Structure formats: structure tokens, C-alpha cells
Amino acid sequence: MKKTSDADYAIRVSNLTKKFGSFVAVDNISFSVEKGKIFAFLGPNGAGKTTTIKMLTTLLNPTSGVMSVNGFDPVRNEGDTRKSFGIVFQDPSLDDELTAYENLEFHGVLYRVPKKILKKKIDELLKFIELWDRRNDLVKHFSGGMKRRLEIARGLIHEPQILFLDEPTLGLDPQTRNHIWGYIKNLNSRKKITVFFTTHYMEEADRIAENIAVIDHGKIVATGSPSELKKRTRKKSLEDAFLKLTGRRIREEEATGADRMRMGRRVWHR
Amino acid sequence: MSTVIYILWLRQLKRYFRSKSRIIGSLGQPLLFLLALGYGFGPIFEKAGQGSYIQFLAPGIVAMSIIFTSLFSGIEIIWDKQFGFLKETLVAPVSRLSIMIGRTLGGATVGTMQGVIVLLISFIVGFRPISWILIIPAVLIMAIIALLFTALGTAIASRLEDMQGFQLIMNFLVMPLFFLSGALFPLKQMPATLLFVAKMDPLSYGVDALHYFLTGQGALGIHYDFLVLVVVTGTLLFIGSYLFSKIEI
């Protein structure tokens, strides 16, 4: 194995803990992600994946522990950390009443991308995700897959070094999922962007990820490449390896306000 | 900071102009009030020696449309919170204060425009201002009312988790604020208790200031109106910014 120094890591986390009252969502975890790699963060519902992403992306302060994202401390140096990553959230976060172009433009202004560069960048990205023809359409007329592609493009406008993707292919058909992973792999190999993603589709993680960390009940239960994890658990598929590592019990999660609202909106719009 | 505020302001305006149903809906109600109440109560009001009711009513209806629109603009944060767009702005390398300022100015602009449109409608229905030039300070008052209620909406929305509480706010906050503000009846001959309650209602001062500039019939004193409006708006902006800065997603 070659030796790695601090500068080779996009993300370093040590002894990270997050408590909500007496509930320990993330329990003293440590892991690191090498620069330019595709890293999968896997775990059942409620395992602590989203909480960890929120801490890495400055949306939540940890109870204790140390993090480094692109060399910046998300707690002490919020601004620089934020400029250095792009994120696609688990739930869509586009403005439906704006056009595809306007959504990207809005993002560029928030991230202070100079005007001249911004226009070029938006054009380039819209072509890359194959939504150039739809650039002036309102996002509310887009399908789930188109919205996801647009969100990925948006996350890239300020040229981040890391792209966080929280379940980017949730609820999409296999064709669209393939397409989206195609873009992401392409980005990773062409622009050397580090990709940090979560997913429930184990065959995707197996195919795409170079390294994996499995989290359960707030603790990291295994790390390694997909083949290492399969070897260690003596299973043929990553799905079986995952089930062996995290057990077969179904995790129940309480509905949050967001879930209730989403249900409500579904009823309203049909 | 200024371009960030501008783009947030612009977004509020775009959203307003693009939701045609919202514009039509929010103009229908004031029109109904003007026609039904204006012409319904008109003869009684006149017999009681108070002059034309439309003249009295129009400024109050203008105020009503402003508080509905601007409060809703503030409340829209809940929507953005639940449907993700707020995350996009909160994870960006910009201060929460500039986000709050941009949104609030956008909401207040929309509210003011709504007020101006309703004022134009009231001209069609028969309202005549005492002086055309005094419409300028009247629009300034409208802008302050809009700012006040957008800030209030922001403060409330920062604390609410979902839209379930929205109906509660409409029934127990917006409606009382409107009905007790002297928008529908003159404050002058009110019973002492009701007058006391009306004086607790910040909208009363907005409506009174609009009466002063549009009809020349202020009851509480224009300097006092202005002072109360500015102090209450400043306080609510402060509270709103504080609560907005505490949002966790």
C-alpha cells in the first residue's frame, strides 16, 4: 500500500459524535475519504448517514469530534468549507417556479461565480446533463430524473472539489439511474472530483464505489472496497454482505413534518 | 452581499408574477369586500351621517390585501423548508442575514404592489383620494405595512414545522388583526374597550395613516401612526432575523 499524507484526503473524520437529547445519532465515528475517489456511505434507515452528511456540510454542528473537508474545518470555517463542496440533497431542492436556467443562475450568484464565467459554465453544464433544450422551461414540468440531473449540474457550478450525493437515484427507473451514474463517473474521471454518496441500492454501490463505509446505529461497522467487504463476510453480493453486517431487522422511522407535507402535497396534486 | 440580496428579492417577484392563480385569488377577495360591503353598508353609513362608505372602506381594504399577501410571503419559508429549496440557500456561502433581508424585501415589494393594484381597483369602484400627490406618502405607508407583516410571517414560519399551523394563524392572528384595525368601521365612536384593543393592533396605525393620506380623516395622529409603525416593524425585523438564524434543517 502506498503511504498517504493529510493532503491526499478530501474528508477526514475522527471521533465524530452527534447527540439529539439522549439519542445518539452518530456515535464516535472515524473514517477518511481519499481525494479523487468515489466513496459510498451505506447504512439502513436511521443509521446516521444523513446526520453525518449534515455535519460535513456545515448544516449541523457536532456534539464532539473533529472533521476536515478539503482541508477546512466545517465548524470553524463555514464559508470556505461551503465553497469547496457541491451537494445534492435527498429531497429535491429546486425552485419549481423558476426555469432550469434560473435555478442554476441563482446558485451561481449565491456562490459568487463571476458573471461572465457563470453564463459559460451554465451553458456547458446544461449541455453536459442534456437539458440544454429545456433550459427555459419551468422546473415544475420536469420529471424526477430531469430534476436530479439539474441538481447535479447545480452542485457543480462553483467547481467544487467534492460532490455529496444523498441517495441521488432514489425513486428513479433503471435507465435514468444508469444515466446519472454515467455522468457522475464521467465527472470523477475527467475532473478528479471526489464523490461521496449514500444509496440503498447495493448493486449501485458495488458497481460505482471504490471504497465503502457501512454505518449502523450510529457506528461504523465496516470499511473497505466492495470486494473486500464481500470477502470478509464470505458473501457473493454486496447486498448479502450488507445484510450480514447490519442484520435483517426492518428499521422503523417516525414521519417528520417533511414527510407529512410531502404526503399532503401528493394528495393535492393528483 | 448586494447581489445575493438582489437575486433573492428577484426570486420572490418572479414567483409572485408566475402564479397567476395567486394574483387573481388575492385580487378577487378585496374586490368582493369593496363591492359587497361598500355598496351593502353604504346607504346605512350615509344615513348615520358618516359620508360615503366606499371612501372610508377603500384604504382599509388596501391594507387588508397587503397584510394577506406579505404575511403569506413570509410564511412561504415553511414551504421552502419542507420542499428543500431553503436548504439550497442555507448551505450556500452567504450569511443568513442577507438571505433574510433579500426574502423580506421581496415579500414586502410584492405586498406593496398588491396594495397599489387594489388601490387602482378601488378607483374603478368609485373611490377618490383627496389629493393625487398624497398617494406618494400613502404608498410609503403601504410599504412599511408590507415590511411589518412579511417580517411577522418570517418570524412565525421560522418556528413552524409544517403548514398545519397556517390555518390557525389565519383565524387567530390575521383575521383579528384585520377586523380590529378600524379598516371596516371608524375608530372614533368605538366603545372604550374596543378602542383599547384596536390600539394594541399595529395594523390600526397603518390603516389610520392610509386614511390620513388618502381621505384626510386620520383618528390617531399621523406622527404617532408613523412612529408606532416604524418601531413595530423594526422590532419584528429583529425578531424575524433572530428566529431565521436559528432554523435547523
What per-residue confidence (pLDDT) applies to B14? 94
What per-residue confidence (pLDDT) applies to A270? 38
Q: How many CA atoms lie within 13 A of B228 on its CB side?
A: 17
In this complex, the residue of A98, A106, A261 whose CB is nearest that of residue B82 is A261
The answer to whether A83 faces chain B, any CB pair under 8 Å, is yes
Query: Among A121-125, A264-268, B82-86, B200-204, where is mean pLDDT lowest?
Result: A264-268
In this complex, the residue of A93, A112, A265 whose CB is nearest that of residue B85 is A93
Closest Cα to residue A168, out of A181, A155, A185?
A181
Indicate yes or no: CB of B83 within 8 angstroms of CB of A93: yes
Residues 6 or more apart in contact with residue A235 via CB below 8 angstroms: A241, A244
Indicate yes or no: CB of A94 within 8 angstroms of CB of B85: yes
More confident residue, B164 or A69: A69
Query: CA nearest A91 in B: which residue?
Result: B84
Residue B249, pLDDT above cutoff 80: no
Residue numbers in A near B6 (CB within 8 A): 109
How confident is residue A4, by pLDDT bands cut at 50, 70 and 90? Answer: low
Indicate yes or no: CB of B87 within 8 angstroms of CB of A93: yes
Q: What distance lies between CA A43 and its chain's CA centroid?
A: 13
Domain extent for A72 = 6-248
Positive or negative, the CA dihedral B129, B134, B135, B141 is negative
Q: What is the pLDDT of residues A88-104, one digit of tens each?
A: 998 889 999 999 999 99
Indicate yes or no: CB of A110 within 8 angstroms of CB of B85: no
The residue with cell 430524473 is: A145
Q: What is the pLDDT of residues A15-40, one digit of tens each?
A: 999 999 999 999 999 999 999 999 99
Closest Cα to residue B23, out of B65, B57, B64, B55?
B65
The answer to whether B248 faces chain A, any CB pair under 8 Å, is yes
In this complex, the residue of A92, A97, A110 whose CB is nearest that of residue B84 is A92
The answer to whether B23 faces chain A, any CB pair under 8 Å, is no
Q: What is the pLDDT of residues A32-68, one digit of tens each?
A: 999 999 999 999 988 999 999 999 999 999 999 999 9
**Cβ-contact A71, A94 below 8 angstroms:** no
What per-residue confidence (pLDDT) applies to A258? 57
How confident is residue A249, by pLDDT bands cut at 50, 70 and 90? Answer: confident
Q: What distance lies between CA A263 and its chain's CA centroid?
A: 24
Write the CATH number for A137.
3.40.50.300
Q: What is the pLDDT of residues A140-171, one digit of tens each?
A: 999 999 999 999 999 999 999 999 999 999 88
Minimal C-alpha gap between B166 and chain A (Å): 13
User: Mind giving me the DSSP string for A137-204?
Assistant: SBGGGS-HHHHHHHHHHHHHTT--SEEEEESTTTT--HHHHHHHHHHHHHHHHHH--EEEEE-S-HHH
In single-letter form, the type of residue at position A71 comes to: G
Minimal C-alpha gap between A172 and chain B (Å): 18
In single-letter form, the type of residue at position A49 comes to: K
Q: Looking at this predicted complex, what is its ipTM?
A: 0.86
Q: In B83-160, where does DSSP find H-type helix?
A: 85-90, 96-125, 135-159
Bridge partners (DSSP) listed for residue A32: A12
In this complex, the residue of A59, A80, A257 whose CB is nearest that of residue B90 is A59
Nine-digit cell at A103? 435555478
Please check whether residue A152 lies inside any domain of the structure.
yes
Please check whether residue A225 lies inside any domain of the structure.
yes
Indicate yes or no: CB of B249 within 8 angstroms of CB of A59: yes
- Reduce the DSSP state of residue B220 to 3 states and report it: coil
Query: Among A195-199, A208-212, B5-9, B75-79, where is mean pLDDT lowest?
Result: B75-79
What per-residue confidence (pLDDT) applies to B164? 78
Which secondary structure element, helix H or strand E, spans residue B19, and what is its range? none
Minimal C-alpha gap between A137 and chain B (Å): 13
Closest Cα to residue A89, out of A165, A9, A147, A154?
A165
Residue A105, pLDDT above cutoff 90: yes
Closest Cα to residue B90, out of B11, B3, B6, B8?
B8
Indicate yes or no: CB of B84 within 8 angstroms of CB of A94: yes
- Reduce the DSSP state of residue A172 to 3 states and report it: coil
Q: What's the rounded Cα separation, in Å, for the pair A224 and B52?
A: 82
Minimal C-alpha gap between A82 and chain B (Å): 5
Query: CA nearest A78 in B: which residue?
Result: B93
Residue A2, pLDDT above cutoff 70: no
Query: Among A140-144, A226-230, A256-260, where is mean pLDDT lowest?
Result: A256-260
Q: What is the pLDDT of residues B115-153, one digit of tens each?
A: 999 999 999 999 999 999 999 999 999 999 999 999 999
Please check whether residue A264 lies inside any domain of the structure.
no
Q: How many domains does chain A have?
A: 1
What per-residue confidence (pLDDT) applies to A269? 45
The answer to whether B20 faces chain A, any CB pair under 8 Å, is no
pTM of the shown model: 0.87
Indicate yes or no: CB of B11 within 8 angstroms of CB of A98: yes
Q: What's the rounded Cα separation, in Å, for the pair A231 and B117?
A: 71
Residue A268, pLDDT above cutoff 60: no
What per-residue confidence (pLDDT) applies to A32? 95
Please check whether residue A88 lies inside any domain of the structure.
yes
Please check whether residue A268 lies inside any domain of the structure.
no
More confident residue, B192 or B20: B192
Indicate the average pLDDT of chain B.
Answer: 91
What per-residue confidence (pLDDT) applies to A171? 83
Domain boundaries, chain B: 2-245
Please check whether residue A255 lies inside any domain of the structure.
no
Indicate the average pLDDT of chain A.
Answer: 90
> How many interface pairs between A and B have CB atoms less than 8 angstroms apart?
80
Nine-digit cell at B206? 397603518
Which secondary structure element, helix H or strand E, spans residue A219, and what is its range? strand A219-224
More confident residue, B21 or A266: B21
Q: What's the rounded Cα separation, in Å, for the pair B157 and B172?
A: 15
Q: What's the rounded Cα separation, in Å, for the pair B77 and B169?
A: 15
What per-residue confidence (pLDDT) applies to B143? 98
Query: CA nearest B86 in A: which residue?
Result: A93
